[in-house]
Amino acid sequence: MTMQYGQSQQSAGGGVPSEAEGRSRVGAALAAAARGAGDPWRVPDALCRACVRLLPVTGASVSLSGGRGIRVTWCASDQVAARLAELQYTVGEGPCQTALDQGAPVFAADLAGRRDTCRWPVFAHEAVGLGAAAVFSLPLGVTGIAIGTLDLYCDRPGALSEPDLRTALWVREAMTDALTELRPREEDWDTTSWVSASQADHTEVQQAVGMLMVQLDLDPEQALDRIRARAFAEGRTVSQLARRVLACGPGLR
């Protein structure tokens, strides 16, 4: 059951769980979610939904970073979470991008407030329109290298409490393990395909960027910015516009 916003995690004894208890509980919850998914292709989204059950948040998503500003959504707990992930990629700003740039967690506790609207004016405005009031982004990876982000959103403003933040960090570690180990626990579970399937969109964006670079004489950043701008203007995602570019040619002068 999802906790009410602001409710702290408790151990079986009624107090705040120890680090060992917390890590164990998070690991067990994610493992149970993976086993309960049945179909391996449903495991990523099941893991995101498990994150929501562990934390006082409305939704969660995981995005993978592929360099040169290119990202792909690996999983999402719900449609709003998926749209928020795509939105940050499309407009090129938001807590997710900042977390990747800084290699540290970034928290937007009130997207309608002055501080967050000044940091990410376009993202904040659009995110509020989608129903998000707060977004928390935590980079995934080891040794300071971010391979993606765990993005959490709430439908009302407010910061995570200290116990909930601690849990979020444990969840981040567990999700990083799921992405970096990529080893099937059972013979019929091809966990590598979880990431491989998501890379299809990533590859299409890279190909579209390359096409614009050649045909319009742009550098990689300019080409990606051109795709982002047109996608936002047309109400499409970057991945959707990349597929159109590949099918019909650039047409983005």
Tell me which CATH code domain 193-248 carries. 1.10.10
Phi, then psi, of 93 in degrees rounded to 5: -155, 165
Per-residue pLDDT of the chain (253 residues; tens, 9 = 90+): 233 333 444 544 556 668 888 888 999 999 899 889 887 778 889 999 999 999 999 999 998 886 556 677 888 999 999 999 989 988 889 999 999 989 899 999 999 999 999 999 999 999 999 999 999 999 998 777 788 899 999 999 999 999 999 999 999 999 988 777 644 444 443 444 444 545 555 577 777 778 878 888 877 777 777 777 787 677 777 777 777 888 887 666 5
Which homologous superfamily is 19-181 in?
GAF domain (3.30.450.40)
Domain segments of the chain as ranges: 19-181, 193-248
Structure tokens at 231: 């996608």
CB atoms within 10 A of CB 148: 26
Q: How far is CA 2 from CA 69, 79, 108, in A?
A: 33, 18, 21
Closest CA to 56 of 1, 120, 113, 123: 1
Identical fold between 19-181 and 193-248: no
Judge contact between 133 and 110, C-beta under 8 A.
Answer: yes
Q: Does residue 123 contact residue 232 with C-beta atoms inside 8 Å?
A: no
Q: At what angle do helices 162-181 and 19-36 cross, to 10 degrees?
A: 50
